[in-house]
């Protein structure tokens, strides 16, 4: 009988360990994600004003206290929080406040000014006025490091107004009577059911005068402005505001952003 020679079993060539292949693909995926994220970040930095060194904070609409924003009004807390976030953001070198507001309450302006002054301790704050920056909106704007306005921006209107309505005559014509029980002589001051009494008129005027003095003293302290140029409360066109030193330069939002960058560079 012919003997069949014994042969050694043939084993397949060793391949990479399963865990090594998994690690390789994991690293490839991670590197790919990093590249994609890097591209998005680079694009964001190139196209977003916030990340080019200037943060634009919008103060648009009537000003009142509170943390809100709507189509025609904005709250002091909302604007203030935006200013503080920009001030504390290390990627932001300067802040531009884009103002388009007819004003609002003195208290709202004072709250925003407090946060604006905080921001100024960290970086330049520049004002860019749009259609309008009057009354309380100018109160805030006067605290900026530099103010830009368009030639036909409405600004100024430095003053305080308190409006009271009296529909008592109409009520009488309609046979509608109002009875008021009150604890003090002025507790119903401002009620539409009667005209202001002489005492109420005097008291309302006192409040308006005190608020106005605080307002105009602050504005003329922040900027070299002749009180007589603004104390009649009139609206002032941007080109005229430049002559009166209510604003520093004529220009749009892009001009204000460029100016903010200049101020930031000068601080370095």
Catalytic residue numbers, as ranges: 135, 187
Cβ-based neighbours of 126, under 8 Å, separated by 6 or more: 94, 95, 96, 97, 144, 145, 146, 147, 148, 256, 257, 259, 260, 263
Q: Which of 228, 222, 267, 265 is nearest to 247 (CA)?
A: 222
Q: Where are the alpha helices (DSSP H) in the chain?
A: 18-47, 76-88, 106-120, 136-141, 168-173, 198-222, 227-230, 238-243, 253-267
- CA dist., res. 212 & res. 220, Å (int): 12
| Helix (H/G/I), strand (E/B), else coil: 19 | helix
- CA dist., res. 79 & res. 112, Å (int): 7
Bridge-based pairing of strands 146-149 and 154-156 is: unpaired
CA angle, 154 then 206 then 167, to 5°: 80
Query: Which residue carries 């690293």 as its tokens?
Result: 27
- CA dist., res. 226 & res. 214, Å (int): 16
Q: Check if the beta carbon of residue 140 is closer than 8 Å to that of residue 158.
A: no
- CA dist., res. 188 & res. 200, Å (int): 10
């Amino acid at each position: 009988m012919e003997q069949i020679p014994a042969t050694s079993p043939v084993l397949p060539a060793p391949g990479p360990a399963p865990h090594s292949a998994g690690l390789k693909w994991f690293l490839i995926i991670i590197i790919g994600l990093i590249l994609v994220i890097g591209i998005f970040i680079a694009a964001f930095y190139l196209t977003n004003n916030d990340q080019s060194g200037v943060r634009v904070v919008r103060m648009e609409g009537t000003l009142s206290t509170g943390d809100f924003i709507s189509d025609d009004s904005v709250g002091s807390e909302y604007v203030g929080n935006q200013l503080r976030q920009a001030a504390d953001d290390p990627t932001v070198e300067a802040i531009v406040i884009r103002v388009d507001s007819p004003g609002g309450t003195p208290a709202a302006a004072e709250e925003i000014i407090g946060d604006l002054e905080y921001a100024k301790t960290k970086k330049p704050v520049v004002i860019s006025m749009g259609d309008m920056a009057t009354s309380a909106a100018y109160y805030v704007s006067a605290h900026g490091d530099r103010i830009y306005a368009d030639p036909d921006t409405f600004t100024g209107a430095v003053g305080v107004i308190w409006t009271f309505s009296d529909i008592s005559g109409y009520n009488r014509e309609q046979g509608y009577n109002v009875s008021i029980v009150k604890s003090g002589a002025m507790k119903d001051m401002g009620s539409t059911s009667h005209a202001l009494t002489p005492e109420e008129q005097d008291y309302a005027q006192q409040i308006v005068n005190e608020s106005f003095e605080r307002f105009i003293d602050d504005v003329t302290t922040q900027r070299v402005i002749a009180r007589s140029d603004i104390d009649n409360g009139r609206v002032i066109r941007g080109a005229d505001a430049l002559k009166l030193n209510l604003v520093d330069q004529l220009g749009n939002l892009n001009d204000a952003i460029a100016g903010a960058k200049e101020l930031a560079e000068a601080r370095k």
